[in-house]
């Protein structure tokens, strides 16, 4: 019997997308589906409705799930006969992300069958990673994805780290506050290229004319505090007050790959 799989991803630096692509390839699954890209589809969950396996690949944000991933899983139709798995990518540590998904699935009698964290590169820190370190880490990631693909392909189940509900509440509160108070500074190096508009998963950035008739990126109130704009800016013109985030994105991922609509992927054969 042929196994059908649906892999959904959320990615800001491209790390999670690269893992999702490699995982899908090694599992013989269809191309992974962008969670932000599903928001304009008539049926965001079409691929998951009849799949034997449904997976989520995403970065750890503030020790937990990105808010867009949380919302996607909460609204997703759950099926008790489906095998659910999750792969998180992290730079420093993960903590609460798998338990959060398991809690959501358990509201409808399902559970997270398999979960694994993959240590990646460079989206948190004071110094930008060098090319040699990135290359070394990418090889390690590929080997880890080999193991995950084999285990998920065999419907293996595992236990995963759990946390407290208190931590979950604190993370949600901090994330909400961070999204409301984060301030991005754009300096004179800005080339008005529109890359920040392209990579924003929330479609929160547009290029508009300012009072001096200059084209500048402006933001609304949908920011996810994911820092994709900062990581992908080719001029390194974007920063925050804290300056705790490196300028890094995956060297083999292009900005236009991050948040495509699935129909566009199908039409282009990617």
In the structure, what pLDDT confidence band is assigned to residue 212 with cuts at 50, 70 and 90? confident
pLDDT of residue 257: 94
- The pLDDT score that the predictor gives to residue 131 is 78
Who wins on pLDDT, 92 or 124? 92
User: Is 5-165 a domain of CATH 3.40.50.360?
Assistant: yes
d(CA 9, CA 128): 25
- SS3 of the chain: the string is CCCCEEEEECCCCCHHHHHHHHHHHHHCCCCCEECHHHHHCCCCCHHHHCCCEEEEEEECECCECCHHHHHHHHHCCCCCCCEEEEEEEECCCCCCHHHHHHHHHHCCCCCCCEEEEEECCCCCCCCCCCHHHHHHHHHHHHHHHHHHHHHHHCCCCCCCCCCCHHHHHHHHHHHHHHHHHCCEEECCCCCCCCHHHHHCCCCCEEEEECCCCCEEEEECCCCCCCCHHHHHCCCCCEEECCCCCCCCCCCCCCHHHCCCCHHHHHHHCC
Query: Can you tell me the distance from the alpha carbon of 245 to that of 253, in angstroms, rounded to the nearest whole number?
Result: 19
* Mean pLDDT score, 244-267: 77
Sign of the torsion formed by the C-alpha atoms of 73, 76, 77 and 82: negative
Given a contact cutoff of 8 angstroms between Cβ atoms, the answer to whether 69 and 10 are in contact is yes
pLDDT of 264 strictly over 60: no
CATH topology for the 184-240 domain: Alpha-Beta Plaits (3.30.70)
- What residue ranges do the domains of the chain occupy? 5-165, 184-240
The more confidently predicted of residues 4 and 93 is 4
99-108, 152-161, 178-187, range with the lowest pLDDT: 178-187
| Cα–Cα distance, 139 to 120 (Å, whole number) | 10
Q: Of 225, 227, 206, 226, which Cα lies nearest the Cα of 217?
A: 206
Q: Are 171 and 179 in contact (CB under 8 A)?
A: no
Render pLDDT for 2-18 as a digit per residue (tens, 0 to 9). 889 999 999 999 999 99
pLDDT category at 1 given cuts 50, 70, 90 is low
The model's pLDDT over 118-142, given as tens digits with 9 standing for 90+, comes to: 998 766 655 667 778 888 888 999 9
Residue range 229-238, pLDDT digits in tens: 999 999 999 9
Residue 169 pLDDT more than 60?
A: yes
Residue 20 above 80 pLDDT? yes
Chain segment 34-44, per-residue pLDDT in tens: 999 998 888 99
Mean pLDDT, the chain, as a whole number? 87
What is the DSSP pairing of strand 205-209 with strand 215-219?
Answer: antiparallel
Contact 103, 74 (CB under 8 A): no
For the cut 90, the answer to whether the pLDDT of residue 205 exceeds it is: yes
């Amino acid at each position: 019997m042929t196994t059908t799989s649906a892999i959904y991803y959320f990615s800001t630096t491209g790390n999670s997308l690269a893992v999702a692509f490699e995982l899908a390839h090694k599992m013989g699954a269809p191309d992974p589906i962008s969670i932000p890209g599903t928001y304009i589809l008539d049926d965001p969950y079409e691929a998951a409705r009849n799949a034997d396996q449904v997976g989520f690949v995403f970065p750890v944000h503030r020790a937990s799930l990105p808010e867009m991933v949380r919302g996607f899983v909460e609204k997703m139709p759950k099926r008790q006969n489906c095998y659910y798995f999750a792969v998180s990518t992290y730079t420093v540590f993960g903590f609460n992300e798998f338990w959060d998904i398991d809690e959501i699935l358990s509201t409808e009698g399902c559970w997270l069958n398999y979960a694994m964290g993959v240590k990646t590169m460079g989206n948190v820190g004071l110094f930008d990673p060098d090319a040699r370190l990135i290359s070394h880490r990418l090889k390690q990631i590929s080997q880890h994805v080999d193991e995950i693909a084999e285990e998920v392909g065999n419907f293996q189940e595992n236990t995963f780290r759990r946390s407290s509900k208190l931590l979950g509440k604190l993370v949600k509160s901090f994330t909400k506050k961070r999204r409301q108070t984060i301030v991005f500074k754009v300096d004179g190096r800005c080339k008005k290229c529109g890359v920040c508009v392209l990579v924003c998963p929330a479609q929160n950035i547009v290029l508009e004319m300012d009072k001096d008739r200059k084209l500048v990126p402006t933001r609304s109130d949908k920011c996810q505090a994911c820092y994709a704009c900062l990581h992908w800016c080719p001029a390194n013109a974007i920063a925050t007050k804290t300056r705790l985030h490196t300028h890094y994105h995956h060297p083999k991922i292009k900005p236009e790959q991050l948040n495509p609509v699935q129909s566009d992927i199908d039409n282009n054969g990617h």
